[in-house]
Amino acid sequence: MSEQKIPFSRRRLLATTALGAAAAASGSFATPSFVRAQGTGVKLGLLHPVTGALSYSGQQGRIGATMAVDEINAAGGIKALGGAKIDPVLGDAQSTPDGGTAEVEKMNSAEVSCIVGGYASSICLAVSQAAARYDLPYVVDVGVADSIVTRGLKNTFRFSPGFGVIAKAALDNLTTINDQAGKPAKTVIIVHEDSLFGSGLAKLLNAQLPPKGFEILETIPHPTPTRDFANVVLKIKAQNPDLVIPANYYNEYVLLARTMQEQHVRPKGIYSVLGGAASSYKFVKDFPDAARYIMDCNHWFNPKSAKALELKKKIEDKGQFFTYELYLNYSAVLLVADALEHAASTDRAKLTAALENSTFASPIMPYGPTKFVNGQNQGAAPVSTQVLDNDIKAILPPEFAIAKAVFPMPA
| Least distance from another protein to the Cβ atom of residue 50, Å | 8
411 makes contact with another protein (CB under 8 A)? no
222 makes contact with another protein (CB under 8 A)? yes
Provide the mask over 92-121, with x wherever binding to another protein is found by CB under 8 A and - wherever it is not: ------------------------------
220 makes contact with another protein (CB under 8 A)? yes
Q: Which of 226, 305, 345, 378 binds another protein (CB under 8 A)?
A: 226
254 makes contact with another protein (CB under 8 A)? yes
One-character DSSP codes across 348-385 = HHHHHHHHHT---B-SSSTT-B--EETTEETT---EEE
227 makes contact with another protein (CB under 8 A)? yes
CB 37 within 8 A of CB 88: yes
Please list the residues that pair with 42 across neighbouring strands: 86
Q: Which of 71, 194, 341, 356 binds another protein (CB under 8 A)?
A: 194
Q: Which of 31, 38, 40, 109 binds another protein (CB under 8 A)?
A: 31
187 makes contact with another protein (CB under 8 A)? no
Residues 270-309 interacting with another protein (rule: CB under 8 A) = 286-287, 289-290
Q: Between residues 114 and 255, which has the closer beta carbon with respect to another protein?
A: 255
Q: Between residues 323 and 358, which has the closer beta carbon with respect to another protein?
A: 323
9 CB-contact burial (10 Å; exposed 0-12 / middle 13-18 / buried 19+): exposed
DSSP state of 409: P
150 makes contact with another protein (CB under 8 A)? no
| Least distance from another protein to the Cβ atom of residue 33, Å | 11
Q: Rounded to the nearest 10 degrees, what angle do helices 121-132 and 97-109 cross at?
A: 30
Tell me how far apart the alpha carbons of residues 121 and 195 are, in angstroms, rounded to a whole number.
12
Q: Rounded to the nearest 10 degrees, what angle do helices 348-356 and 324-343 cross at?
A: 110
264 makes contact with another protein (CB under 8 A)? yes
Which residue type does 228 have?
Answer: D
Distance of CA 409 to CAs 162, 178, 271, 292, Å?
29, 12, 11, 9
Q: Under 8 Å CB-to-CB from 284, ≥6 apart: which residues?
A: 291, 387, 390, 391, 392
> Which span (12-20, 35-43, 158-166, 370-378) binds another protein, by CB under 8 A?
12-20
> Which span (106-114, 116-124, 222-230, 374-382) binds another protein, by CB under 8 A?
222-230
> Which span (53-61, 68-76, 347-355, 375-383) binds another protein, by CB under 8 A?
53-61
Q: Which of 250, 293, 368, 409 binds another protein (CB under 8 A)?
A: 250
CB 125 within 8 A of CB 101: no
Where b means 16+ CB within 10 Å and e means fewer, 293-329 reads: bbbbbbbbbbbebeebeebbeebeeeebbbbbbbbbb
Tell me: cis bond preceding 303? Omega within 30 of 0 counts. no
SS3 259: helix
> Which span (21-29, 114-122, 123-131, 372-380) binds another protein, by CB under 8 A?
21-29
Tell me how far apart the alpha carbons of residues 155 and 131 are, in angstroms, rounded to a whole number.
7
Residue 100 neighbours by CB distance under 10 Å: 31
Q: Provide φ and ψ at 190, rounded to 5°.
A: -105, 130
| Least distance from another protein to the Cβ atom of residue 120, Å | 14
Q: Which of 17, 240, 357, 359 binds another protein (CB under 8 A)?
A: 17
Q: Which of 225, 304, 359, 402 binds another protein (CB under 8 A)?
A: 225
Sites of contact with another protein (CB under 8 A): 2-5, 7-8, 10, 13-14, 16-17, 20-21, 23-24, 29, 31, 51, 53, 55-56, 58-59, 194, 220-223, 225-228, 230-232, 234-235, 238-239, 250-251, 254-255, 258, 261-264, 286-287, 289-290
